[in-house]
Amino acid sequence: MDKQYVIGIDIGGTNTVIGVVDARGSVLGSTSIKTQVCEKFEDYISEIYKAATALLESLDLTGKIHGIGVGAPNANHYTGNIENAANLRWKGILPLCELLSQKFGIPTSCTNDANAAAIGEMTYGAARGMKNFIMITLGTGVGSGIVANGQVLYGCDGYAGELGHVIVKENNGRKCGCGRSGCLECYCSATGVSRTAREFIETTDIPSILREIHVDEITSKHVYDAAIQGDELSKKIFEFTGEILGKAFANFVAFSAPEAIILFGGLANAGELLLAPVRKAMEENVLFVWKDKVKILASELKDADAAVLGASALGWEADK
């Protein structure tokens, strides 16, 4: 057994990070390329190959890779394809694993970014030792990776864990990018926080430093910065966001009885400003058997290696 390393690839909307990882989870080296640089997906795969090959040579590990694991938006673990990813320039079905395994001659496995984060968290982060937890990624949208019985829950089609698209407002819900209304991600993503800010500014008279910014340009970062300075309206925005998220979590708990729900991504960096109202709303709404039992945690995977580590773990199991 001389192939004791794996490659982990994290495909983001902007950057693609490639890392070489050993069996103990140490990133021996990494490199990155711009995701959107090539017009054709095949050329993008070639760019990944070039960068990875150079990395392997520099580490003197050519020929020693057991498998490749990839985390990417809308990547389907079962099919190995990226399927209709909204934030990538290539549309439709992209045969990600097939092209990579052909190019490298190495077995490749993939999953979506939220599941990769869950695997990373379970292997190296806040979920170490947990067999049942839910990973919630709060970015532009809301993603999720559900781990039950120590395994990522993929469902019958690889799409399980679309918790950002659970409908939380039955009536007069906000319009969602998915074509429906009232989805969790319309409220609890970074974009949702901006929408809430706009709504609160337009429908209340509460003074706020946010009013100095053009209402269409307010980001969740603005709201966070204002809130930690004590801005009343901004704190209310986090309370509103946390309440919706916590109520949704109370229902998620009734599904899979997780030991913890772990928050990851930009908005999760708001820390207790968000976590405190989430916990409060969850505890007020959860079924009695889970009162004071389910932990709400922030991810421990803060550094740039996190996503690569999560993806790389898939490389050990890749078999085609």
- Give the residues lining the site for its own copies (CB under 8 A): 130-132, 146, 148-149, 151, 153-163, 165-167, 169-170, 178-180, 247, 250-252, 254-259, 285, 287-290, 293
Instruction: Report which secondary-structure segment, H or E, holds 295.
Output: strand 295-298
Nearest distance, CB of residue 12 and its own copies, angstroms: 22
Q: Which residue, 180 or 211, is less far from its own copies as judged by CB?
A: 180
Instruction: Report which secondary-structure segment, H or E, holds 315.
Output: helix 306-315
d(CA 209, CA 234): 9
Tell me the pairing of strands 82-83 and 133-138: unpaired
d(CA 188, CA 192): 5
Nearest distance, CB of residue 292 and its own copies, angstroms: 13
Q: Which residue, 131 or 320, is less far from its own copies as judged by CB?
A: 131
Contact 132, 122 (CB under 8 A): no
d(CA 310, CA 245): 25
Nearest distance, CB of residue 14 and its own copies, angstroms: 25
Token pair, residue 233, equals 């309206």
Nearest distance, CB of residue 318 and its own copies, angstroms: 18
Nearest distance, CB of residue 282 and its own copies, angstroms: 12
d(CA 38, CA 174): 35
Token pair, residue 90, equals 């290539």
d(CA 203, CA 255): 36
At a CB cut-off of 8 Å and minimum separation 6, what does 209 contact?
226, 229, 231, 234
Tell me the residue length of the chain. 320
Q: Which residue, 31 or 181, is less far from its own copies as judged by CB?
A: 181
Q: Which residue, 131 or 302, is less far from its own copies as judged by CB?
A: 131
Tell me the pairing of strands 133-138 and 142-148: antiparallel
Q: Which residue, 116 or 244, is less far from its own copies as judged by CB?
A: 244
Nearest distance, CB of residue 164 and its own copies, angstroms: 8
Q: Which residue, 33 or 153, is less far from its own copies as judged by CB?
A: 153
Q: Which residue, 117 or 253, is less far from its own copies as judged by CB?
A: 253
Q: Which residue, 25 or 255, is less far from its own copies as judged by CB?
A: 255
d(CA 187, CA 194): 9
Token pair, residue 229, equals 């300075």
* AA letter at 126: A
Nearest distance, CB of residue 254 and its own copies, angstroms: 4
